[in-house]
Structure 1
């Protein structure tokens, strides 16, 4: 049986000029051969040929647009505004009817955080050390309780963290969520190509691969069974966010309401860019088509770098990677995924040389290919549904340990976000000269999801904060441990 499969795959690889991948076949054990054949059987050689011809063998010109226009944003939520109240009513009714599912991109590792596990398991809580996954699970639990509904949770995981992610959930008993409502969807991997368009071997019996990008959510939702499950449940909308954004309102009734009232296929949240060079994608209209232009491409479109007299970017809407996608739209995109845009990146890819020795390249040696979920906006047939948000309490991504978009910044944003909650409850919160909260604060989403809810529960229970504090799901408190004072320091 294996001989037949081997013959078929050798012939297929040879037909596409990739038969070199069998160079070390004779050195492989039987089990290694079986694993290698299984990997090769999943390779889309036709797609790789198309990508090679389009991106490697041809000098692909940058896209040119005759016009690039700003998008019209829905203003930030104002509870006194009639449109916002209508959106809230529509969104809450949609939720109560069980028509919402939660999708989270969770395929990353914690490597850049100095953490040896899935990024979602990173202990982001400054006092509680609760993980990103726990924050999100508690939000879902709280919303299920509030709306008396099941919110199925679909997580896209990668080859590198699938088993570890599942084990982490098991260890924590899914934080009270029912297992049958949590799904781990494998993300597709795509082989890497060298500058000649040849497949790269990671080892004698394994191709070098990389995840197919967050646009791979479309295939993962269908291939992983989420769409089928959603149809059975009556779910019509997937909310979309990324695991490294602790602040994401994974289920926002205002946002859902705007999506529903405008009969949208795909909707987005946007934040105002800090400056024209901020490393975020830019929402805009290019020749009548809704686009997000990646920050790495901004130099090709000088108008996107224009600023007002005040110094603010003319094209202000930045992309925080928070969307809503109708289930029907996901199915449509899947049926036509062969025309979905791909992007390339020239990277340093660990490999083996012609004698089978491992190589850790010092310079880029191959291409990785990926898709971006925001490119799905190019296929909508309605005006943009783009809700402006404030960053604090909605968008604080964690990409590294220190600096911009870091663990340190995220923990400070937690304290700054929750400080007004404590103040609303009558507590004096210490602040520094810049107005930032000077102690660590945490509030479990399972305890309160809003300032008003928190103030009602905590009113009068604390007078002044002298140290950091975490409020847990049941209302119990943990105080941040302070360094022991020096012997000569008698301050209490």
Structure 2
């Protein structure tokens, strides 16, 4: 084991941790070492995504929009779409220890994020059934909800207590993302107690390995799913299972797609889509990793920001692509380092959490399209 991990901390964790059987020590050592060594290294060169390559739904004719809508509804009516919700985080920044989706965001109706999204799925199901000849046949949209060890029980109980917001209980599948140990800045394990290593969720990019390890990719295939709509829980404006977006995705025949919103101003704290090199894939660069000059660069002809396509975590993938990327990202040992205050035997320790992001998958995609939604 690398000295980066701290011999005494490691020995305590192996001998005493009640969860020691879940610690893949060679993998954890590789992640710690590779992630720390990559910190501060120069990244690849980036090019802006050409505006002409981004589709804007509002700029299409009514007939074209209707055609895409109908194509998406048809696929939904055939059971080809599954929805994946990324919901492993707690609402601590909202002043709550509950899962984010339970949070009352102050609407007059008092509806939570979970309820708004469930009702959207219910409505799309009904529209899809009405679009086919046998309108009495309701094909459910299966909703896969990724929790974490910190939110799983509360999320399940919340849905059960609200009778699944009108959806059938068997169309909602809960599964947990993984966790990774938290470490100090020099790579030593942080102990939550004298006998337990402090851990944290492995980021929303933990989705891929979680889908693979829980056999849910096979479950989707068995149900006839071909397309997977993935989104983050904390977007109140999300159009879950958007037929127009799905129709456009199917029309283009690509492996991946993302909805984007034009960046409002240079300092806005959002990641943006860029092209890696002259001919590389589309990827996302976090705002914290962008050079200020790059963030402020203006297109001389249009007057718009050159790097302007904000990632808002609204993605579509083919199931075939998810199967491929689940293995690729599982073998990727470089994780994002997030500096956080971590509960420890010392009360609180400033350390590092290791996270993968769902947008890391785009680097593996042979073809990605961006679909602009104007606010």
TM-score of the pair, normalised by structure 1? 0.68
Report what 1:390 is aligned to.
374
In the TM superposition, residue 81 of structure 1 has moved relative to its aligned partner by 5.2
In the TM superposition, residue 125 of structure 1 has moved relative to its aligned partner by 4.6
Summarize the Cα distance change of 1:69–1:114 in structure 2 as closer, same or farther, 3 Å threshold: closer
- Structure 1 unaligned blocks of 5 or more: 1-11, 27-32, 353-357, 392-492
Could you tell me which of 344, 356, 371 is aligned with 2:337?
344
Deviations 1:111-134 (A, max 9, x none): 221224111011225222111111
Deviations 1:47-88 (A, max 9, x none): 2222332233565412131x5132420123356255544422
**C-alpha distance in 2 between matches for 1:188 and 1:214:** 10
| Partner-residue secondary structure (3-state), 1:348 | strand
Deviations 1:122-168 (A, max 9, x none): 12252221111111111111111121221001111011111001001
Counterparts of residues 144-163 of structure 1 (less than 5 Å): 144-148=125-129, 149-163=139-153
Summarize the Cα distance change of 1:58–1:82 in structure 2 as closer, same or farther, 3 Å threshold: closer
1:198 aligns with 2:198: no
Summarize the Cα distance change of 1:186–1:24 in structure 2 as closer, same or farther, 3 Å threshold: closer
Summarize the Cα distance change of 1:328–1:128 in structure 2 as closer, same or farther, 3 Å threshold: same
Summarize the Cα distance change of 1:24–1:317 in structure 2 as closer, same or farther, 3 Å threshold: closer
Summarize the Cα distance change of 1:127–1:101 in structure 2 as closer, same or farther, 3 Å threshold: same
Report what 2:243 is aligned to.
253
Could you tell me which of 97, 105, 118 is aligned with 1:124?
105
1:68 aligns with 2:47: yes
Q: Is the 8 A contact 2:227 2:316 kept in 1?
A: yes
**C-alpha distance in 1 between matches for 2:5 and 2:95:** 40
1:306 aligns with 2:274: no
1:20 aligns with 2:5: no
Summarize the Cα distance change of 1:85–1:24 in structure 2 as closer, same or farther, 3 Å threshold: closer
Could you tell me which of 53, 56, 76 is aligned with 2:33?
53
In the TM superposition, residue 225 of structure 1 has moved relative to its aligned partner by 3.5
Deviations 1:340-387 (A, max 9, x none): 7521122222212xxxxx3224xx3x22110011111111112x3110
Deviates more, 1:183-192 or 1:44-53: 44-53
Report what 2:359 is aligned to.
374
1:189 aligns with 2:179: yes
**Aligned pairs, how many?**
360
| Partner-residue secondary structure (3-state), 2:93 | helix
| Partner-residue secondary structure (3-state), 1:77 | helix
Q: Is the 8 A contact 2:34 2:334 kept in 1?
A: no
Deviations 1:243-280 (A, max 9, x none): 11121001111110111121221110000000121111
Deviations 1:430-487 (A, max 9, x none): xxxxxxxxxxxxxxxxxxxxxxxxxxxxxxxxxxxxxxxxxxxxxxxxxxxxxxxxxx
1:106 aligns with 2:87: yes
Summarize the Cα distance change of 1:386–1:13 in structure 2 as closer, same or farther, 3 Å threshold: closer
Summarize the Cα distance change of 1:54–1:323 in structure 2 as closer, same or farther, 3 Å threshold: same
- Structure 2 unaligned blocks of 5 or more: 130-138
Deviations 1:285-308 (A, max 9, x none): 1212211110111117x3342024
**C-alpha distance in 2 between matches for 1:42 and 1:18:** 19
Counterparts of residues 180-329 of structure 1 (less than 5 Å): 180-287=170-277, 288-299=280-291, 302-308=293-299, 312-329=304-321
**C-alpha distance in 1 between matches for 2:255 and 2:333:** 16
1:87 aligns with 2:68: yes
Deviates more, 1:159-168 or 1:108-117: 108-117
**C-alpha distance in 2 between matches for 1:23 and 1:76:** 56
Bigger-Rg structure (1/2): 1
**C-alpha distance in 1 between matches for 2:177 and 2:359:** 17
Q: Is the 8 A contact 1:103 1:153 kept in 2?
A: yes
Deviations 1:391-446 (A, max 9, x none): 3xxxxxxxxxxxxxxxxxxxxxxxxxxxxxxxxxxxxxxxxxxxxxxxxxxxxxxx
Q: Is the 8 A contact 1:190 1:210 kept in 2?
A: yes
Richer in strand (by share): 2
- Which is bigger in relative contact order (C-alpha 8 A, separation at least 6)? 2
| Partner-residue secondary structure (3-state), 1:276 | coil
| Partner-residue secondary structure (3-state), 2:56 | coil
**C-alpha distance in 1 between matches for 2:369 and 2:323:** 20
Q: Is the 8 A contact 1:292 1:375 kept in 2?
A: yes
TM-score of the pair, normalised by structure 2? 0.88
Q: Is the 8 A contact 1:77 1:254 kept in 2?
A: no
